[in-house]
């Protein structure tokens, strides 16, 4: 049996689990059964893919099933790109299932989650394996519908219903764009197999249209600005472990779809295609993290942060397109490898952070950071692993976020060799945007960790908080370890990605495991190098020595003093920094153009006993500019057309007669 046939047994088993879950989801043992089965299947798929990569990483395995379109069948294929994303999907799915074994016991509506969870995993696997447009789109839509059902698990909440509606509309729009893109790739012959599309050579106009449609289709699922409107609504609405899957894994399946079409099926790129992807990626990164900084809802903050990281990935992919179009394969391989490395890293630390937010929500019932604080004393393990995730996503060494973002900036430094002056200007500008996004991300997660876990409790619910179950803690600890290992041993990951870069770019980065002391050298040692292991050892030794000398030689006298209480005589929790006040300097700098922010202060009259009130009004410019007018127009049209439902029989017949006359006139005048 071929490798791809073995891999297809996994989605089949997951779909079987989903059917069984629908029958037994109301039983007490259903949670353990569903998540245990999903964990076992994900691990089995991971082992199969790892064996394939270890044995023959460049081999291609394909199979055609007698399903789907009659003249095409259902075609599935395993190559280097799909193998990497299968690792991302099933590693994330397995760890999320481990987390679900614990947090699933606290789910208030398990019968609305359990049947769709394995179906969601199956859909993501099938998208990555599909080798024809029909199978790809069918799997894509199945993945979207399964995740929509999970978003609607708590449908009695009006906000969740709104999130589900917007997600469904955006998913349908994205699928329509993908359908049109594949239609252009199929051409007049109508060959929907990916192998036939690879052999075809679309013209410049068709290639540009396909790129635009892929940015709309895959970009809407990934969360590119301005197609991001659904993401900060849907991710917080879903159960926390599902949020981790959607944010950490499903958005990467969208990145896979973009790479598969633009780098594999579309042929040689034009240099301007890199410009478009670069600019959209840079703008997405900055606007995503700015929105995250303004949030006080922990899960919405993490959702907006996903938009920022997707922008970083697309900016790197745009850079790879520009280098590839200008016959600079080594630089293109560097940018492409950096993008894939960041895909893997983001799946680690974003899943970890959503797990941590889920643990906080389970322990306190709160997502509002203004009602948290002081949780480091109640949730010590969760606090530590959440801190690891915050350091990783802030791109601080020696964790994994730094390694991949450092590679991206090394690729940006190759831009002076590009021949087009437009790229010579745009690439450094986008590099500056990514640097700004990285700095804002650090500030954002100082806020997220500090307001949530440090200081004093801001509400009574924190006093009763306690650590979550061992399954959830185990999943978070595993991801924290992966964040560290990928940061201190990045050379192994880079070499593992070499086959993917070689197949799509035509070149690869130099072999990193051959470098002394496990350093990584993206181009040449004379230009730049980084050693995460030595940085980790240095930080560990210096921190340990500092702690030893402080405890050994410092004065043993107890020194305490009152903390600054912002002018209040009593140190009350309300005098602490809040999430809103932490973001105030950033809001005042960027709020005018990014959020149309307004601050209103209501001061009572002299002598009045009413409290003063401070209000902050923030707008989503993309939503109000693009989506509200369309929504208003649709509401207006449907309200007017609703009149047609109440016509008499005579008026209906008259209307049909008029339409028939108009149709005959059109046919008569048609040339």
Strand 74-78, strand 598-602: pairing:
unpaired
In this predicted structure, the answer to whether residue 490 has a pLDDT above a threshold of 70 is yes
Q: What is the pLDDT of residues 143-202, one digit of tens each?
A: 999 999 999 988 888 888 888 888 988 999 999 999 999 999 987 777 888 988 888 888
pLDDT at 559: 67
The 10 Å CB-count burial string (b at 16+, else e) for 544-570 is eeeeeeeeeeeeeeeeeeeeeeeeeee
Stretch 382-403: mean pLDDT, rounded? 94
Q: Which of 104-113, 157-166, 222-231, 250-259 has the lowest mean pLDDT?
A: 104-113
Instruction: Mention every residue, 6+ apart, whose C-beta is less than 8 A from residue 101.
Output: 31, 32, 35, 36, 39, 471
Strands (DSSP E) found in 404-499: none
1-5, 356-360, 613-617 — most confident range: 356-360
pLDDT, tens only, 33-89: 999 999 999 999 999 999 888 877 778 888 998 887 777 788 999 999 999 999 999
| Omega prior to 650 cis, within 30 of 0 | no
Assess whether pLDDT exceeds 90 at residue 640.
Answer: no
Q: How confident is the model at residue 671 (pLDDT cuts 50, 70, 90)?
A: low
pLDDT at site 501 = 92
The alpha helices in 261-297, defined as continuous H runs, are: 271-294
pLDDT greater than 80 at residue 439 = yes
Q: What is the reported pLDDT for 401?
A: 92
* DSSP SS3 for 370: helix
Q: What is the pLDDT of residue 200?
A: 82
Q: Are 644 and 615 in contact (CB under 8 A)?
A: no
Mean pLDDT along residues 235-244: 88
**Confidence at 128, pLDDT banded by 50, 70, 90:** very high
pLDDT at 546 over 80: yes
Whether the per-residue pLDDT at 97 is higher than 90: the answer is yes
Render pLDDT for 266-288 as a digit per residue (tens, 0 to 9). 888 888 999 999 999 999 999 99
CA distances from 524 to 83, 119, 512, 521 (A): 29, 46, 11, 6
- Residue 564 is classified by DSSP as P
Would the pLDDT of 204 be above 90?
Answer: no
Q: Which whole number is the average pLDDT over 295-318?
A: 93
Q: Which two tokens stand for residue 604?
A: 């009572």
Bin 374: left if φ > 0, else alpha if -120 < ψ < 50, else beta: left
Confidence at residue 422, expressed as pLDDT on a 0 to 100 scale: 85
pLDDT at 670: 74
Using pLDDT thresholds of 50, 70 and 90, give the confidence band for residue 456.
confident
Lowest mean pLDDT among 26-30, 140-144, 298-302: 26-30
Residue 202, helix vs strand vs coil: coil
643's tokens? 């009149």
Q: Which of 428-442, 477-491, 652-666 has the lowest mean pLDDT?
A: 652-666
CA 429 to chain CA centroid, nearest Å: 24
Q: Is the model's pLDDT at 1 over the cut of 70?
A: no
- Provide the pLDDT for residue 593: 73
pLDDT at residue 92 is higher than 90: yes
Most confident of the ranges 21-35, 153-167, 320-334, 607-621: 320-334
Backbone conformation region of residue 61, classed left if phi is above 0, alpha if psi is from -120 to 50, else beta: beta
Query: 668 falls in which pLDDT band (50, 70, 90)?
Result: confident
Are the CB atoms for 45 and 86 separated by under 8 Å? Answer: yes
* Local confidence band at 606 (pLDDT 50, 70, 90 cut-offs): confident
> What are the pLDDT digits (tens) for 336-389?
999 999 999 999 999 999 999 999 998 888 888 988 888 998 999 999 999 999
H or E segment and range at residue 256: helix 251-259
Find, among 180, 265, 261, 170, the residue nearest to 221 by Cα: 170
Predicted local distance difference test score (pLDDT) of residue 27 = 81
Average pLDDT of span 314-333: 93
Q: What is the mean pLDDT of residues 497-501?
A: 91
pLDDT for residue 427: 93
Percentage of the chain exceeding pLDDT 90: 50
From the list 247, 230, 249, 252, the residue with the least C-alpha distance to 167 is 230
SS3 188: coil
Q: What is the pLDDT of residues 105-115, one digit of tens each?
A: 777 778 888 99
What average pLDDT does the chain have? 88
> For residue 207, what are its two tokens?
């290639």
Q: What is the DSSP secondary-structure string of 499-543?
A: HHHHHHHS--PPPSTTSGGG-B-SS-TTT--B-HHHHHHHHHHHH
* Cβ(116)–Cβ(150) below 8 Å: yes
Q: What kind and span of H or E run contains 601? A: strand 598-602
Residue 630 has pLDDT above 80, yes or no: no
Q: Which residues contact 193 (CB under 8 A, 6 or more apart)?
A: 72, 75, 131, 132, 133
What pLDDT does 254 receive? Answer: 95
**pLDDT band with cut points at 50, 70 and 90 for residue 417:** confident
In angstroms, the CA 286 to CA 308 distance is: 6
Tokens representing 585 are 């300097």
pLDDT average, residue stretch 297-316:
94
pLDDT tens figures, 564-592: 666 666 667 777 778 888 888 888 888 77
């Amino acid at each position: 049996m071929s490798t791809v046939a073995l891999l297809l047994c996994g989605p089949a088993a997951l779909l079987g689990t989903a059917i069984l879950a629908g029958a037994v989801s109301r039983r007490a043992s259903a949670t353990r059964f569903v998540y245990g089965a999903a964990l076992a299947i994900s691990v089995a798929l991971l082992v199969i893919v790892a064996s394939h990569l270890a044995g023959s990483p460049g081999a291609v395995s394909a199979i055609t099933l007698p399903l789907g379109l009659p003249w095409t069948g259902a075609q599935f294929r395993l190559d280097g790109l799909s193998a990497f994303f299968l690792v991302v999907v099933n590693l994330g799915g397995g760890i999320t299932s481990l987390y679900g074994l614990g947090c699933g016991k606290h789910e208030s509506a398990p019968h609305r989650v359990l049947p769709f969870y394995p179906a969601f995993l199956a859909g993501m696997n099938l998208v990555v394996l599909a080798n024809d447009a029909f199978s790809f789109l069918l799997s894509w839509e199945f993945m979207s519908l399964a995740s929509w059902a999970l978003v609607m698990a708590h449908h009695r909440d009006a906000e969740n219903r709104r999130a589900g509606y917007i997600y469904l509309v955006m998913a349908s729009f994205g699928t329509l764009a993908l359908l049109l893109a594949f239609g252009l790739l199929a051409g007049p012959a109508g060959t929907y197999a990916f192998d036939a599309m690879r052999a075809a050579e679309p013209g410049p106009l068709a290639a540009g249209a396909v790129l635009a449609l892929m940015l709309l289709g895959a970009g809407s699922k990934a969360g590119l600005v301005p197609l991001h409107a659904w993401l900060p609504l849907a991710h917080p609405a879903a159960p926390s472990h599902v949020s981790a899957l959607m944010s950490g894994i499903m958005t990467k399946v969208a990145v896979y779809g973009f790479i598969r079409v633009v780098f594999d099926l579309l042929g040689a790129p034009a240099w301007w295609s890199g410009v478009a992807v670069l600019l959209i990626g840079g703008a997405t990164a900055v606007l995503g993290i700015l929105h995250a900084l303004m949030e006080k809802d922990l899960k919405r903050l993490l959702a907006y942060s996903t938009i920022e990281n997707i922008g970083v990935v697309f900016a790197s992919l745009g850079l790879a397109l520009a280098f590839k179009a200008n016959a600079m394969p080594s630089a293109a391989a560097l940018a492409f490898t950096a993008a894939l490395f960041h895909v893997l890293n983001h799946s680690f630390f974003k899943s970890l952070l959503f797990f941590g937010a889920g643990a906080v929500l389970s322990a306190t019932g709160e997502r509002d950071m203004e009602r948290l604080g002081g949780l480091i004393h109640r949730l010590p393990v969760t606090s530590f692993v959440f801190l690891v995730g915050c350091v990783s996503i802030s791109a601080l060494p020696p964790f994994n976020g730094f390694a991949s973002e450092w590679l991206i900036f090394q690729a940006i430094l190759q831009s002076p060799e590009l021949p087009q002056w437009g790229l010579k200007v745009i690439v450094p500008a986008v590099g500056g945007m990514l640097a700004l996004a990285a700095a804002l991300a650090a500030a954002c997660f100082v806020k997220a960790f500090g307001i949530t876990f440090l200081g004093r409790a801001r509400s009574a619910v924190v006093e009763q908080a306690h650590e979550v179950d061992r399954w959830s803690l185990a999943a978070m600890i595993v991801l924290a370890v992966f964040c560290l290992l990928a940061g201190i041993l990045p050379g192994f990951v880079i070499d593992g990605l070499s086959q993917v870069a070689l197949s799509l770019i035509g070149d690869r980065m130099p072999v990193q495991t051959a470098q002394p002391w496990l350093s990584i050298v993206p181009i040449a040692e004379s230009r730049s190098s980084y050693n995460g292991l030595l940085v980790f050892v240095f930080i560990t030794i210096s921190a340990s020595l500092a702690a030893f000398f402080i405890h050994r030689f410092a004065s043993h006298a107890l020194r305490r003093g009152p903390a600054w209480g912002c002018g209040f005589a009593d140190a009350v929790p309300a005098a602490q920094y809040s999430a809103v006040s932490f973001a105030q300097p950033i809001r005042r700098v960027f709020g005018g153009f990014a959020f149309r922010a307004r601050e209103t202060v209501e001061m009572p009259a002299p002598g009045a006993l009413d409290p003063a009130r401070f209000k902050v009004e923030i707008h989503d410019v993309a939503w109000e500019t693009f989506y509200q007018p369309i929504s208003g127009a649709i509401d207006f049209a449907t309200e007017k057309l609703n009149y047609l439902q109440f016509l008499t029989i005579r008026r209906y017949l008259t209307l049909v007669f008029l339409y028939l006359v108009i149709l005959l006139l059109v046919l008569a005048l048609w040339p």
